[in-house]
Structure 1
């Protein structure tokens, strides 16, 4: 996996309120769109483990949210934004349709070839948010969302030369529930705190050729679906520092998860996947 569940990190966002700049940006975006349509596509990739945005509005605006909350999904990026969205409930559904394939060449072990990993073509990723204003300066709410890159299912295993006759692949799904409280400390600044409650499921199959390199070959592959739960925290701030600029910043702690005991021979430290 390219990234851990929720590695500690600091994120900063900026929103410019200048109408002139917005018009210029729109013109630039149109020009880039036309150029993109005319240019050949040389490479494609997903955003990896983390989504570029949470909630339909945020994704429709290239993942904006740290400094410009859109709806009751704001706590997924910056809990301080919840106090600015008012009383509301939001729900959405993403249809994620990635293309997964691999090509191996120049391999001396007989693995050369093209392999299709699209065992499942469509992934449904729901989200839900609710926010309630206790008074004009205090809000409580909750954001519920999924996380993850994608699963891979190779009906024809890339490791068939090593005796793997079935499918090869991995599957990871995650659910985050973020109860949140946010408070306006001034008319232009707010802070927020979220408790990140997480549940994840994982399975792997067709990895038998790696058994000799595992600390526990019986807990490496083909053990069905395993699950673990955990928690962490996220704090945030957002503030209007001038008539033209709003800033936002968040810090997220590590989400401490239980171990995948059925895959203790695949993950380090006996199945650890924080």
Structure 2
């Protein structure tokens, strides 16, 4: 227990770190922990470090006694274009006013007994940031820069119990903190569009909190083969009061439920192959899932069942491999592919939130040192453009909007064995 206090102090330091926004599988992170990121986010049946509970709380039982601290340098390239607009909004727009973000993470695990493990994971689930120096809504009367800043931070204490050899069940509670700001959206800040004019844009940062539950299982069903399953509840968040005229339900922006299954096969003493399937229920959160067209049937921004960003639920498939070269060096590689959350009919409002990348390609490595282990992972998400199809309503001059995004993520972490 002498290591609990240092772990909590580091955790508090991470919580106090200025939040950064990322956007990978929609606005969920593609992977939690540097080792998971090295295999494109695989982790449901392949726990590798103290952040394992972020993907599956049962993983806390399999990672030993450790403290993992890491940071990711996230570099998105995002923007939009408009053509055929009757109000003169045509043009190409870059949202790269801010290019680099630092995302911290921490994981702690302790095996209290052969049958019981406890842990603490602190991580950024994801988010979204756009920073348009040239405002894409200027033709509608907007001035200054435009964009949004959404960041989410999670603190997840977990417990995992081994009912039998090779099997574990886990549970965790998650405290979620999210922060949001919007600017340059004055064309949407009026009584015709919003249910609460004056609470749509340029109100500075607002924050919201909530609690959720995670459950998971990992079991060795065949020699050298593990299966896993995990579920994370929807997190009911407090409202963004400053933006009650933007988000459905008077500022509501809950975090959607997600769930998945995984498999890991120890193909040889050195080689492990693993795969995950994950489902994220974006459409269940009305501020995310309701389409903008609701606006023209009486569903104003901010109102109950009002207009939103029109995102779809998505499934993600992840494949990864780890190879132990020797006792010191382990190599990793992975690839993942996600469904598209942003329909082509919804690209106009999603100029603000172009979470459209689909593929991730990852490489990683760990090297054991005398006092611990140094790990790194690099992920590339190639550029994806979603071209609009009936995307700009006639009330905004018609035409089409396209959104694009590309990402690079470099994560470095260090592990202390406790």
Query: TM class, shorter-chain normalised?
Result: 0.7 to 0.9
Q: What displacement does 1:177 show?
A: 0.1
Q: Distance in 2 between matches of 1:46 and 1:166?
A: 28
Q: Distance in 2 between matches of 1:202 and 1:146?
A: 14
Aligned residues: 230
Given that 1:194 and 1:234 are in contact with CA atoms closer than 8 Å, whether structure 2 keeps it comes out as: yes
| Runs of 4+ in structure 1 over 6 Å off | none
What secondary structure is seen at the aligned counterpart in 1 of 2:128?
Answer: coil
TM-score by length of 2: 0.54
Confirm or deny that 1:237 pairs with 2:237: no
| Bigger RCO of structures 1 and 2 (CA < 8 A, at least 6 apart) | 1
Partner in structure 2 of residue 156 of structure 1 = 134
Given that 2:29 and 2:124 are in contact with CA atoms closer than 8 Å, whether structure 1 keeps it comes out as: no
Partner in structure 1 of residue 61 of structure 2 = 83
Summarize deviations over 1:198-250 as a string: whole Å, max 9, x none: 11110001111012311011111111110111101000000010014211001
Q: Distance in 2 between matches of 1:106 and 1:46?
A: 30
Q: Distance in 2 between matches of 1:256 and 1:229?
A: 8
Given that 2:24 and 2:126 are in contact with CA atoms closer than 8 Å, whether structure 1 keeps it comes out as: no
Partner in structure 2 of residue 50 of structure 1 = 28
What secondary structure is seen at the aligned counterpart in 2 of 1:58?
Answer: helix
TM-score by length of 1: 0.82
Partner in structure 1 of residue 199 of structure 2 = 219
Unaligned runs of 5+ in 1: 1-44
Q: What displacement does 1:159 show?
A: 1.1
Q: What displacement does 1:62 show?
A: 1.3
Given that 1:55 and 1:127 are in contact with CA atoms closer than 8 Å, whether structure 2 keeps it comes out as: yes
Query: Which structure has the highest strand share of the two?
Result: 2
Partner in structure 2 of residue 168 of structure 1 = 146
Confirm or deny that 1:261 pairs with 2:241: yes
Q: What displacement does 1:160 show?
A: 1.2
Q: Distance in 2 between matches of 1:88 and 1:47?
A: 28
Q: Distance in 2 between matches of 1:47 and 1:237?
A: 23
Q: Distance in 1 between matches of 2:157 and 2:171?
A: 8
What secondary structure is seen at the aligned counterpart in 2 of 1:220?
Answer: coil
What secondary structure is seen at the aligned counterpart in 2 of 1:99?
Answer: strand
Unaligned runs of 5+ in 2: 1-22, 255-418
